[in-house]
Amino acid sequence: MSRKIVVGFDGSDASIRALDFAISRAQAQGDNILIAHVLEWSPYSFLTPSEVEERHRRRKEELQRAEAAILTPMVKRVEDAGIPCATTLRYGHIAETLCRIAKDEGAAMIFIGRMGDSGFASRIFGSVAATLAQVAPVPVVIVP
């Protein structure tokens, strides 16, 4: 029985390394891959009705651009390796949204790339990798 692997993907070199590692694991274990791209977005702002309409239009354009520029080329990469692949594109807090996707999809694991930033900002605010390692409902593979 094949499992589903969620790969958090943002187009960075780190996320490409995570996807490539997930591809190698999926080939070895007969798993499927779900590439998840999360656009950071906060619902906590006060907007006028015209601003809400404009924001909705911009969100739709962002989703279309992300699908075409980020996800579609990676689906081909995964399928060329002989692995069934799907995508999901969502707005929200990255770590929370990846956890929700993994739970909703019944995923066995989450793969993400690590950017290597260990600076002051990541110590204060944390990182996606650190957050996922602490709260994910499934094992998390952090690829350096």
**Residue 96: CATH number of its domain:** 3.40.50.620
C-alpha to C-alpha distance for 47 and 50, rounded to whole angstroms:
8
Query: What are the tens digits of pLDDT across the range 12-24?
Result: 999 999 999 999 9
Which H, E and C letters describe 43-65, residue by residue? CCCCCCHHHHHHHHHHHHHHHHH
Looking at the predicted structure, is the pLDDT value of residue 125 above 50? no
Pairwise pLDDT comparison (44 vs 30), residue with the higher score: 30
CB 98 within 8 A of CB 130: no
Instruction: Name the pTM for this structure.
Output: 0.82
Q: Which domain holds residue 138?
A: 4-143
Confidence class for position 138, pLDDT limits 50, 70, 90 = very high
Arithmetic mean of pLDDT, 76-104 = 94
| Number of separate domains in the chain | 1
Confidence class for position 77, pLDDT limits 50, 70, 90 = very high
Confidence class for position 92, pLDDT limits 50, 70, 90 = confident
Nearest to 83 by CA among 140, 34, 13, 14: 34
User: Going by DSSP bridges, is the β-strand pair 140-143/109-113 parallel, antiparallel, or unpaired?
Assistant: parallel
